[in-house]
Structure 1
Amino acid sequence: MDPGEIVRRSVLRGIILGGGAVLLSGCGQPGSSAGTQPPTVAAADPISVKDQRGKTITFSGPVTRVVTIPMPAASLLVAVDQGADHLAAMHNASWIAMRDGIMGQLHPAALKIPHDIATQDFTPNVESVRALDPDVVVQWSDSQLTAPLENAGLKVVGLNNTGTQQDVDAWIALFAAMLGKPDRATQIKARSDAELKEVQSAAIGRTQAGPRILYFNRFTGGLKVAGTNSYNDFYIKLVGGTNPASGQQGVKGSGMVGVDVEQVLAWDPEVILLGNFDGAMPNDIYSNPIWQTIAAVRARRVYKVPLGGYRWDPPGQESPLMWHWLSDISFPQPQKSQLRSKVAGYYDFLYARQPSPAQIDKILWTDVNGRSAAYGQFDAS
């Protein structure tokens, strides 16, 4: 799907805000005269949302205890809510990203939240989840993952992951509606759309061909790259690059696909991106004789993808920053990048926190990426 068409779709499609009566208290209060009504108190209106399964879930009011099982959901909830107060539990991989990234520093309370409520493959520990007494459990929409929770009497919101920006928009809209903050979804989407137009405009205005960019979802313990119908393929093409794994000589299948060394050597990528789902770093490639003939190694254009409030490689609330980072990596300019100021402003907008220069260095992996080409454009001074 064309990226422009993706972002033109309404973020609020499928979100239904239920109307509810305002209830007035009719009791007397001490010291009041007979027949005098006390101050009125408005009860919360019921809220209904339609999840990505097409199922409608109704809450008596804004949710206050949310268990999230899909990996991007925990940090996305924090971004929509601008805090971790309503996050009751999360997947362990979400917690690791908060610990290893910057979220645990921005919102330290997030690191104290339970994170043992599901297996690596997202199978829920139903009893552990029930013990937390959540208002709602956010889960991938696969019926095998949602049914055990619903059979236990829990309310479940199902999410799809088709690798599109439309998914991010839908997740944000669902979370904002559940939290009773629908305007927050509108704000986040408007800002994301503006950043997308800026990146698209820059790509359209270039005359030089973009580099061949290969994203490794896994590098250690077996190679896995992003093929067609992946979010990584979307943003590689968005900035004006090409993805050899999804081209005419690409891999069969879609999403993340396993490959061998010979295939990568044949593709000869000009830029290599190492994701945040394993510990691979640029020096692991630079120092290995197997990879020395690859264009990206010869030009020292191997980069660890940033890790902020969440991993920048999959779809999420920080994806607009990923687009700008990849654009600058792919088409480095002689002047300093504006990414650091964008990070500072975006974090204030998402998390109500201003990262320090040292924290921005951590997000951008300036220590491990600093020996790669053109990375000085992201230096603080």
Structure 2
Amino acid sequence: MVTLPMPAASLAIAVDASAEHVVGMHEASWTAIRDGILGKIFPAATGIAHDVAGQDFTPNVESILALRPDVVVQWAEEGTGTIAPLENAGLKVLGVTYGTQEDLETWTTLFATLLGKPTRALDMIARNDEALAEVKARTAKVARGSPKVVYFNRFAAGLKVAGPQTYNDYYIRLVGAENPATGPAGVQGAGMVGVDAEQVLRWDPDVVLLGNFDGAMPDDLYRDPVWASLAAVRTRRVYKVPLGGYRWDPPGQESGLMWRWLSHVVFPGDDGPSLRDRMREAYGFLYDYRPTDDDLDQVLWSAANHGSADYGQFDA
């Protein structure tokens, strides 16, 4: 397989519990593997070709042909320039769309079918369903008020927040919080939308989430006087989203862990099994790997999040 959509490589590896069948991936997929834990679990994954497409997903047909793939996974909604060149070169292309939990289930089923492991998809989907039911039950029990949570898809070089029709908005609401970017004074348009600091200050979120698509960390807000009046800064509730087998920001094989993490970030508490225990069990299932405490600290950005409120609940 050659996978061009960013989350596809790590999902295929999780479905396969192996890096043997992915021969090429988008560079952003590769950096997540390099910087996250998947490169440690499957060292061979860091050697997979990642010069197969531009940042806009335009395929490098020559590089892909050299890999002799049986199938190329590509975005189906990025225009004719993303799929036609591949098909014109005689390559078999699987066009996919993405952004919802249903899309993730479709990808999981497709990849499991391609890899000859159909029951693996059923097990992965069932586990996510179980996690979803648990988080909904916790939300009904612990949610109080409607804390405002803003997710930054980009922060370091221009602000972009998750607006309507985003997965981030879905899980913010799932845990009993409110996304002011989708409220009455929210952004215009859907998806990841550019905003200015003044807009964010008017929203005055209680919690800020920093995504894994740039290098921004909580201290970048805590130390910047521009953000000093923000409720999330005053109460030190700015958090870097974990980076596991893939970025926890979008839908993925570790989404159940993301939901549990966010639920406890927004409404801290030590009810139920610890997140670390959940992660160890999940990584055993997904990757046949038992992470160490240092591994989990890395995934959870424990050092970067150490100065944020209640993050000690995720300590070893």
TM-score, structure 2 as length reference: 0.98
Question: How far apart are 1:205 and its partner, in Å?
Answer: 2.1
Choose between structure 1 and 2: higher helix proportion. Answer: 2
Q: Distance in 2 between matches of 1:190 and 1:216?
A: 30
In the other structure, the counterpart of 1:365 is: 301
Distance 1:203 1:368, change over 3 A: same
Question: How far apart are 1:299 and its partner, in Å?
Answer: 0.4
Query: What's the RMSD between the two structures over aligned residues?
Result: 1.1
In the other structure, the counterpart of 1:203 is: 139
Cα pair 2:143 2:176 within 8 Å, conserved = no
- Read off the aligned partner of 1:221 and give its amino acid letter: A
Cα pair 1:306 1:363 within 8 Å, conserved = yes
What SS does the aligned partner of 1:235 have? helix
Cα pair 2:11 2:108 within 8 Å, conserved = yes
Question: How far apart are 1:207 and its partner, in Å?
Answer: 5.3
Q: Distance in 1 between matches of 2:89 and 2:2?
A: 15
**What is the aligned counterpart of 1:333 among 265, 269, 294?**
269
Question: How far apart are 1:335 and its partner, in Å?
Answer: 6.4
In the other structure, the counterpart of 2:93 is: 156
Matched, 1:135 2:70: yes
Matched, 1:270 2:206: yes
Cα deviation, 1:102-128, whole Å, max 9, x if unaligned, reads 000011010011111100111100011
The list of structure 1 runs, each at least 4 consecutive aligned residues, that deviate by more than 3 angstroms after superposition, is 334-337
- Read off the aligned partner of 2:216 and give its amino acid letter: A
- Read off the aligned partner of 1:127 and give its amino acid letter: E
Distance 1:156 1:334, change over 3 A: closer
Matched, 1:259 2:191: no
In the other structure, the counterpart of 2:174 is: 238
In the other structure, the counterpart of 2:55 is: 120
Cα pair 1:74 1:94 within 8 Å, conserved = yes
**Aligned residue runs from structure 1 range 212-231, under 5 A:** 212-231=148-167
Question: How far apart are 1:333 and its partner, in Å?
Answer: 1.3
Q: Distance in 1 between matches of 2:264 and 2:115?
A: 36
- Read off the aligned partner of 1:82 and give its amino acid letter: A
In the other structure, the counterpart of 1:147 is: 84
Distance 1:262 1:186, change over 3 A: same
Q: Distance in 2 between matches of 1:86 and 1:360?
A: 26
Distance 1:151 1:309, change over 3 A: same
**What is the aligned counterpart of 2:219 among 273, 283, 288?**
283
Which deviates the most, 100-109 or 207-216? 207-216
Indicate the structure (1 or 2) with the bigger Cα radius of gyration.
1
Matched, 1:87 2:14: no
Question: How far apart are 1:92 and its partner, in Å?
Answer: 0.6
Cα deviation, 1:249-305, whole Å, max 9, x if unaligned, reads 110100100000110000000000000000000000000000011100000000000
Cα pair 1:337 1:377 within 8 Å, conserved = no
Cα pair 2:7 2:252 within 8 Å, conserved = yes
Unmatched tracts of structure 1, length 5 or more: 1-65
Residues matched between the structures, number: 314
Question: How far apart are 1:144 and its partner, in Å?
Answer: 2.5
Which deviates the most, 336-345 or 124-133? 336-345
Distance 1:85 1:253, change over 3 A: same
Q: Distance in 1 between matches of 2:51 and 2:143?
A: 50
Distance 1:283 1:154, change over 3 A: same
In the other structure, the counterpart of 1:172 is: 108
Unmatched tracts of structure 2, length 5 or more: none
Cα deviation, 1:33-66, whole Å, max 9, x if unaligned, reads xxxxxxxxxxxxxxxxxxxxxxxxxxxxxxxxx0
Distance 1:137 1:334, change over 3 A: closer
